[in-house]
Amino acid sequence: MRKWLLAASILTAMAGTASAQDVTAPAPARRLAVTIYNSNLALVEDARVLNLTAGRQRLEFKDVSPQIRSETVALSAPGIGIVEQNFDYDLLTPDILMAKAVGTQIRIVRTNPGNGQQITETATVLAANQGVVLQIGDRIEVLRDDGLPTRVIFDRVPPNLRARPTLSVTVDATGAGSRETRLSYLTTGLGWRADYVALFDEKSAKMDMTGWITLTNTSGTSFEAADVNLVAGGVSQLSRPRPTTAGGGVRSAGTQTGQGALADYYIYPLPERTTIAQNQTKQVSFLDVQQTPASKVYQVDLGSFMSQEQPISANVLLKFTAGAGVSSSPQMPAGVVRVYVRDADGDPKFIGENSIPHTPAGSDLAIQTGQAFDVTLQPTVVSSERISDDRTRYLVTYVLRNARPEPVSVVVRQDGFGRRAKILKESLPGTSVNSTIRGWDVPIPANGETTLTVSFENGY
Q: How many CA atoms lie within 13 A of 89 on its CB side?
A: 8
Give the angle subtended at the CA of 234 by the CAs of 280 and 242, to the nearest 5°.
90
Assess 403 for contact with another protein (CB under 8 A).
yes
CA angle 115–119–125, rounded 5-degree value: 140
74 contributes a contact to another protein by CB under 8 A? no
Distance separating alpha carbons of residues 122 and 102, to the nearest angstrom: 14
Nearest approach, Cβ of 396 to another protein (angstroms)?
Answer: 9
The minimum distance between CB 248 and another protein, in angstroms, equals 26
Q: Which of 225, 366, 424, 446 binds another protein (CB under 8 A)?
A: 225
Could you tell me which residues come within 8 angstroms of residue 255 by beta carbon, excluding any fewer than 6 positions away? Answer: none
* Residue type at position 337: V
The residue count of the chain comes to 460
The span of 35-43, 138-146, 170-178, 256-264 binding another protein (CB under 8 A) equals: 138-146
Q: Are 56 and 15 in contact (CB under 8 A)?
A: no
- Name the β-bridge partners of 319: 295, 366
Please state the closest distance from residue 237 (CB atom) to another protein, in A.
Answer: 23
The amino acid sitting at 231 is V
Using rule CB under 8 A, residue 60 touches another protein: no
Asked if 146 is part of the footprint of another protein (rule: CB under 8 A), the reply reads: yes
Interface segment toward another protein; rule CB under 8 A; list 44-52, 160-168, 251-259, 424-432: 160-168
DSSP string, 176-191: -EEEEEEEEEEESSEE
2 binds another protein (CB under 8 A): yes
- Region near another protein per CB under 8 A, out of 8-16, 43-51, 105-113, 233-241: 105-113
Q: Which is nearer to another protein, 83 or 143 (CB)?
A: 143
State the Cα–Cα distance between residues 238 and 259, nearest whole angstrom: 11
Does 413 engage in binding with another protein (CB under 8 A)?
no
Check residue 182 for interaction with another protein (CB under 8 A): no
Near another protein in 325-364, by CB under 8 A = 336, 338, 341, 343-344, 347-355
Pairwise CA distance, residues 75 & 73, whole Å = 7
Amino acid occupying residue 14: M
Among 54, 74, 92, 324, binds another protein (CB under 8 A): 92
210 neighbors 15 (Cβ within 8 angstroms): no
Instruction: Report the residue from 152, 173, 209, 231 that binds another protein according to the rule CB under 8 A.
Output: 152
Question: In sequence order, which residues have a C-beta less than 8 Å from that of residue 260 and are 6 or more positions away?
Answer: 234, 236
> Which residue from 384, 432, 434, 436 is in contact with another protein, where contact means CB under 8 A?
384
CA nearest to 166, candidates 243, 81, 242, 58 = 58
Q: Is 273 in the site for another protein (CB under 8 A)?
A: yes
Q: Distance (Å, rounded) from C-alpha 255 to C-alpha 240? A: 12
Q: Quick one: 41 or 133, whose CB is closer to another protein?
A: 133
How do strand 348-356 and strand 280-302 relate by DSSP bridges?
Answer: unpaired
* Cβ–Cβ < 8 Å for 274, 225: yes
* CA–CA dist 174, 80 (Å, integer): 6
285 touching another protein, by CB under 8 A: yes
Considering only 44, 294, 300, 372, the residue that binds another protein (CB under 8 A) is 372
Tell me the one-letter amino acid at 168. Answer: S
H-helix segments, 70-143 = 94-100
String of contacts with another protein for each residue 204-223, x by CB under 8 A: --------x-x-------x-
Q: Does 310 bind another protein (CB under 8 A)?
A: yes
Does 151 sit near another protein (CB under 8 A)? yes
Stretch binding another protein (CB under 8 A), from 107-115, 229-237, 320-328, 425-433: 107-115
CB of residue 56 to another protein, shortest distance in Å: 27
What's the distance, CA 145 to chain centroid? 51
Q: Does 374 bind another protein (CB under 8 A)?
A: yes
* Shortest Å distance, C-beta 57 to another protein: 23
Residue 124 binding another protein, by CB under 8 A: no
How many Å apart are CA 226 and CA 198, to the nearest integer?
Answer: 30
Q: Shortest gap between Cβ of 236 and another protein (angstroms)? A: 21
Residue span binding another protein (CB under 8 A) among the ranges 7-15, 128-136, 169-177, 234-242? 128-136
> Measured from the CB atom, is 172 or 195 closer to another protein?
195
- Taking the least distance from each CB to another protein, the nearer of 329 and 392 is 392
